[in-house]
Amino acid sequence: MYDRTIDGKPINLRVSGKLWNRSLIMSDVETNTEWSHLLGKAMAGPHKGKQLKALSGVMTTWAQWKQQHPKTTVLDLSRTMKRYNSEVYRKPERYVLGWTFADEAHHVGYDTLAAKPLMNLTTSDFPVLVSYDKASTAARIFSRELGDQVLTFEAIDGQTMRDKETESTWSRQTGEATAGKLKGKALKHHAGIPSYTRAWQMFHPESKAHGQ
């Protein structure tokens, strides 16, 4: 998911019908610049070299999202891929959760996340927490920095976790402290991109794998 603002103005993106490294290429209506959907970067055209800002999001089930956000609204589009459901993860080794920081790429496999659903990592001197919920296939990345502290987390159950430094209790879905000394505080989300393993490695050949 990206902020589609370039040079202070929103652009409108569409499917170009082209592929690069077997992955979707978008184009903008305004200039016909071609953009890589995996990199969020303009590859050809007037905006070549410009970068869309990645936004944090989550790919999850409607049931979990509705439970957490009961007043939410949804854009209901016709489905073009009937097979798109949780069964796509029946071979989790085919997928990774990727992210970038300080121009360095990192990833963790969904097979690793299934075995280690809560991971304290330090990548490019940036301490992160990766939280995974197998039931909804939702993977989230949070910064472990809070003020001048770097927190370390351990799972309580599938929904909650505890930091070792203050023993506060946190939601693994929202990154918010629900009890303890840090109640009311929230971890900052970091943008992550679910991707086919092969595609991520093709676009980020130097990406560092974690948890293996």
Judge if 68 and 132 occupy the same domain: yes
Q: Is the pLDDT of residue 84 over 60?
A: no
What is the pTM assigned to this prediction? 0.82
Of 114, 172, 163, 116, the residue nearest 140 (C-alpha): 172
Q: Which residues contact 108 (CB under 8 A, 6 or more apart)?
A: 96, 97, 119, 121, 130, 209, 210, 211
Same domain? 157 vs 200: yes
Q: Which of the four pLDDT bands, split at 50, 70 and 90, describes residue 83?
A: low
82 lies in some domain: no
Which of the 8 DSSP states describes residue 180?
A: S
Terminal Cα-to-Cα distance of the chain (whole angstroms) = 27
Same domain, 95 and 160: yes
- Mean of pLDDT over the chain: 89
What pLDDT does residue 188 have? 96
Does 71 score more than 90 pLDDT?
no
User: Mean pLDDT across the stretch 75-89?
Assistant: 63
Q: What is the mean pLDDT of residues 182-190?
A: 96
Q: How confident is the model at residue 85 (pLDDT cuts 50, 70, 90)?
A: low
Query: In terms of Cα–Cα distance, which of 56, 1, 49, 6 is closest to 28?
Result: 6
Query: 199 lies in which domain range?
Result: 62-74+89-209
In the chain, how many domains are there?
2
* 178/202 same-domain check: yes
Tens-place pLDDT, residues 89-114: 678 889 999 999 888 999 999 999 99
Q: If we measure between CA atoms, which residue out of 126, 133, 134, 135 comes closest to residue 190?
A: 126
How confident is the model at residue 56, as a pLDDT? 83
CATH code at position 135: 2.102.10.10
Cβ 142 vs Cβ 91: under 8 Å: no
Instruction: Write the pLDDT tens digit of every residue in 50-68.
Output: 999 888 887 777 777 888 7
Same domain, 130 and 201: yes
Q: Are residues 97 and 184 in the same domain?
A: yes
Q: Which residues contact 136 (CB under 8 A, 6 or more apart)?
A: 60, 61, 63, 64
Same domain, 21 and 98: no
Distance CA 152, CA 196 (A): 29
Q: Name the amino acid, one letter, at 160.
A: T
Q: How far apart are CA 106 and CA 197, in angstroms?
A: 12
Q: Could you tell me if residue 93 is inside a domain?
A: yes
And the tokens for 168? Answer: 């506060």
In terms of domains, do 112 and 179 share one?
yes
pLDDT of residue 177: 98
